[in-house]
Amino acid sequence: MKITIIGTGYVGLVTGTCFAEMGNTVTCIDIDALKIENLKKGIIPIYEKGLQKMVAQNLEKKTLFFDTVLSTSLNTADLVFIAVGTPMGEDGSADLQYVLAVARQIGTEMQKDLIVVNKSTVPVGTSKLVQKEIERVLDERAVSFAVEVISNPEFLKEGVAVADFMKPDRVIVGANSNEAFDLMYRLYKPFMEKNDRFIKMDTASSEMTKYAANAMLATKISFINEIANICEVVGADVNQVRRGIGSDTRIGFSFIYPGAGYGGSCFPKDVQALIKTAQDHHYAPRILQAVEQVNKHQKEILGEKINKYFDANLSSKNIAVWGLSFKPDTDDMRDAPSIPLIKYLLDKGAKVTVYDPEAMDIAKDFYFKNLTGITYAQDKYTALESADALVLVTEWKEFRSPDFDRINQSLINPVIFDGRNQYDAIDLAKKGFTYFQIGVRSAK
């Protein structure tokens, strides 16, 4: 098939590249000319395992193209995907300005009947809204091309997005016509040779499925963090509790790992957008509001533990931080727990030395730009030099089995604050460390 993808952000680039990998001819469109020029050279704007190699291979095979001009590929495409950002508005709602701008451009430039696929994460009813906007522009042009806007939400996990797309758990499609369902099935069938997981529904249910999935996962994270906080005050060990409840097949172990709170491009934004959607329809989403409140508080816990340990006197302390991205295997720092933690430490007068395998540049150039008191280390052990304590924020593989003797020798105080409960408390105690976890009562 000939596919046009509008938007070369995280979702658009992964989607377009994976479609091309299966032999489709894909053109990815973006208004950012510099980004497009880099993509034509195989230079991608994000870190995602396996993506750069796949982009380069499909550029060479001439199955993947990048352009700033929509009209040519729009009018030769079998399907047109909208994959632009829907950032969170000031009131918590999803900002649809970019989606609607694309709708107007499609209405202005289309010269034939089209099926438009909304891949962006959008509130319930957006597919109808986009269709109305396209049809409004067509009416202004006094032309009568048919357009159907359908929903095909993404369920990619950052860090393993390529693998997720190539072997999907499910493919959700919301549409009104058999033609649209048939085209989408043909497109996705090569990805489902072993398991046919193509699920058809109406557009509103498809849009809601995306928000419901992310809200459910966020709820599990906030739930285990709430349990962790209760464990800590009553003297229980959340690590043991997690094993106890996770062994129940009705609960399972996925997303019940206590930590410093969730972040990223999806959970925070989507939970708030679903809250706003519910409120707009005069419903109070009490569980979702609690999920968000627990997560906000969870991001404060590490800083409070550090401040308490040093008797509320951080002005002369240097704190080493391992991990900046919101999760391993990505450079994405959107709503990452590291951001409020580091700003808290700086506000308390501490100096901070940070290291992350992939997120150093985005931290330096954007999230912590113009902030003083931050040093960017070349590797994890350099970050420890002259540090009073180590804080683990992101559980990258290279942090999982470090040289604890070297850590002990490098730190002024052998103190570790573990925001992901990665290490063995008994083993660290034998090595002379003071060790703090989430959901486990500490000695101090």
Known catalytic residues are 266
For residues 400 and 419, is the Cβ–Cβ distance under 8 A? no
Q: Helices marked H in 80-175 — which ranges?
A: 97-109, 126-141, 161-166
* 376: β partners: 354
For residues 373 and 385, is the Cβ–Cβ distance under 8 A? no
- Report the first-to-last Cα separation within the chain, whole angstroms: 63
Token reading at 77: 């495409």
The whole-angstrom separation of Cα 249 and Cα 55 is: 39
Residue 104 sits at φ, ψ, to 5 deg, of: -65, -40
97, 107, 130, 145 from 100: Cα distances, Å: 5, 10, 6, 18
* 353: β partners: 320, 375
Sign (positive/negative) of CA torsion 114, 117, 120, 125?
A: positive
For residues 11 and 156, is the Cβ–Cβ distance under 8 A? yes
Token reading at 127: 């597919």
The whole-angstrom separation of Cα 221 and Cα 226 is: 9
The whole-angstrom separation of Cα 378 and Cα 336 is: 21
Q: 349: closest CA among 388, 323, 385?
A: 388
**Helix (H) or strand (E) segment spanning residue 436:** strand 434-436
For residues 288 and 294, is the Cβ–Cβ distance under 8 A? no
Q: What's the CA dihedral at 158, 101, 187, 211 to 10 degrees? A: 50
For residues 192 and 166, is the Cβ–Cβ distance under 8 A? no
